A and B are shown apart, each in its own frame.
Chain A
Amino acid sequence: TQLLEQSPQFLSIQEGENLTVYCNSSSVFSSLQWYRQEPGEGPVLLVTVVTGGEVKKLKRLTFQFGDARKDSSLHITAAQPGDTGLYLCAGGNNYQLIWGAGTKLIIKP
């Protein structure tokens, strides 16, 4: 069974601070996606990484795929209250998506 461990499960920080969310697995993934979900809404795709070592930036968000394509991280610089939400990672393999448990992020003004 493929597992994708996401940490931390919950994070509450002050506006302006930096943070990193991690997704780790013992399995190799063909690609890995990060989604953001707000309460009462469906997840929204933020980014897809497919190449080992790949780094993608989306404004203040930096996504990295591990060299071995087993892990990924999401780093947010100078977090803002608008970044509050549930962040989900999902690894793709054999035409299936394996989901992380999610990180509930709260940015306090």
Chain B
Amino acid sequence: GAVVSQHPSRVICKSGTSVKIECRSLDFQATTMFWYRQFPKQSLMLMATSNEGSKATYEQGVEKDKFLINHASLTLSTLTVTSAHPEDSSFYICSARDPNGGAYEQYFGPGTRLTVT
């Protein structure tokens, strides 16, 4: 149980274009999902917390107009990187909190490698 999928796994886009990444909880309903960014050989950096049916809560320093998050259903959250630039290239990972699990346990998707050329 507690499986989270993420799509696409890899994407290459040109500078100035937008990219959408999907995160789905496959076998549970996730009222809360999280979006992380990870640089090589580093830990996870929380970007935002996504709550179904309400606006996402962004961490300090994360531009909400650049990283658009939509959590329209209990099983799907999307992250759109708008007007992407090479410095946005990174590994983006989503996670979901299983309401039937521990209060702090998060289940992660496989990640999306974004390369902006």
Interface size class of A (residues with CB under 8 A): 20 to 34
Are A30 and B103 CB-contacts (below 8 A) given A41-B110, A42-B93?
A: yes
Kindly state whether residue A76 has any CB partner on chain B within 8 Å. Answer: no
- The answer to whether B103 and A41 have CB atoms under 8 Å apart is no
* Min distance, Cβ B82 to any Cβ of chain A, angstroms: 23
In the complex, chain B residues whose CB is within 8 Å of the CB of A90: 104
B78 within 8 A of A: no
Of the residues B6, B42, B93, B106, contact of A97 by C-beta under 8 Å: B106
Of A13-21, A54-62, A98-106, the one contacting chain B is A98-106
B43 close to A42 (CB less than 8 A): no
Interface centre among B44, B91, B93, B111 (most CB of A within 10 A): B44
Q: Is A80's beta carbon under 8 Å from chain B?
A: no
Chain A's closest residue to B104 (CB) is A92
A-B contact count (CB 8 A): 54
Contact partner of A42 (CB less than 8 A), chosen from B41, B105, B110, is B110
Any chain B CB within 8 A of the CB of A24?
A: no
Q: Which of A31, A88, A104 contacts B104 (CB 8 A)?
A: A31
Q: How far is the CB of A30 from chain B (nearest CB, A)?
A: 7
A88 touches B105 (CB 8 A): no
Asked if A31 and B111 make an inter-chain contact with CB atoms under 8 angstroms apart, the answer reads: no
If the complex has contacts A88-B43, A101-B43, are A42 and B6 also in contact, measured as CB distance less than 8 A? yes
- Some 15 contacts from A to B, beta carbons below 8 A apart, are A30-B104, A33-B106, A40-B111, A42-B4, A42-B109, A44-B108, A45-B106, A45-B107, A48-B102, A48-B104, A90-B104, A99-B43, A99-B46, A102-B42, A102-B43
Residues in B lying within 8 Å of A, measured CB to CB:
4, 6, 41-44, 46, 91, 93, 95, 102-111, 113
A residues in contact (CB < 8 Å) with B:
30-31, 33, 35, 40-45, 48, 50, 88, 90, 92, 95, 97, 99-102, 104
